Amino acid sequence: MNDPVAEPGPSSGEPSLVGQRLHAVLDGDRVVHDLRRYFGIGLPPGAGVFTGGRFEHLAGGGDRRQVANRFTAEDLIAVQTLSVTVPAPVALDLLEGPLGAHLSELLRDIPSDTDLSDADASVVADGSPAHRAWCLLEDQYKVGWVIAGKLLARKRPRLLPVYDRVVRCALGHPPSFWTELRTALREDDAALHHRLLGLRQSAGLPETVSALRVADVAVWMAHPAPGHRCP
């Protein structure tokens, strides 16, 4: 199990491994180019683009006010742009069944207008509504931790990050990803958070692309090709 808050993160006095690794990725010469390529900025019509560039924008986004507290069919399509598919029985339960109703109750208690860098530690702590929602999704038939995280990232893109095997590998298998990422984003007067927003501006991305997604895409584009063995 890859629980995003399974263990406490580093103390405020210790350097964050996640922060160090993210800064190293962002130091790359091609990071702005990679962001523009991923989101199709400046590409001619018909040029090949990454479907993931539509993840947060499809149908206006999963966190827009009308649907922020319930899963929709558009959310299920959106996660497919990130190369995962919610099993049909679970999808139906999310849209029409008790699973969707339970998650709606939890979503109402998860802030939709807060960046992870600004959130109180309790928002992503063990036992929080966000963590309970993740556990509930992760436990569903053939869902697991990757799909669970992508579903929640669709609903709360500023607060909950996309977390998959590429990110886990690139950032050193952090045992407490949400907590450690929050720590990294807050270090040195939120230097990493502001750097991500600066890269968003430099790449010409819309403000609807969160700092978390800038980090995710930068990591994903810089990571070695499939088949690389993660240490």
pLDDT digits (tens, 9 = 90+) for 146-158: 999 999 999 999 9
Residues in contact with 106: Cβ distance below 8 Å, sequence separation at least 6, in sequence order? 129, 130, 132, 133, 136
* pLDDT one-digit tens code per residue, 112-137: 999 999 999 999 999 999 999 999 99
Q: Regarding predicted confidence, which is higher, 49 or 127?
A: 127
Cα end-to-end distance, the chain, whole Å:
18
With b meaning 16 or more CB within 10 Å and e meaning fewer, what string describes 27-45? eeeebbebbbbbbebeeee
The whole-number pLDDT of residue 149 equals: 97
Whether 127 and 179 have beta carbons less than 8 Å apart is answered as: no
Q: Kindly state the average pLDDT of the residues 28-52.
A: 88
Q: Kindly state the average pLDDT of the residues 36-52.
A: 84
The whole-number pLDDT of residue 3 equals: 78
176 torsion bin: left (phi>0), alpha (psi -120 to 50), beta (else): beta
Residue 213 scores a pLDDT above 70: yes
Q: Regarding predicted confidence, which is higher, 42 or 198?
A: 198
**In percent, how much of the chain has pLDDT > 90?**
84
In this structure, which amino acid lies at residue 137?
L
In this structure, which amino acid lies at residue 99?
L
* Nearest in space to 24 (alpha carbons), one of 190, 179, 219: 219
Residue 12: pLDDT band with limits 50, 70, 90: very low
Q: Kindly state the average pLDDT of the residues 81-92.
A: 98
Residues in contact with 27: Cβ distance below 8 Å, sequence separation at least 6, in sequence order? none
Alpha-carbon span 38 to 192, nearest angstrom = 21
Evaluate the CA torsion angle 158, 164, 166, 169 in order and state its sign. positive
The whole-number pLDDT of residue 175 equals: 87
Residue 44: pLDDT band with limits 50, 70, 90: confident
Residue 65 scores a pLDDT above 60: yes
Residue 228: pLDDT band with limits 50, 70, 90: low
Alpha-carbon span 55 to 221, nearest angstrom = 16
The whole-number pLDDT of residue 48 equals: 67
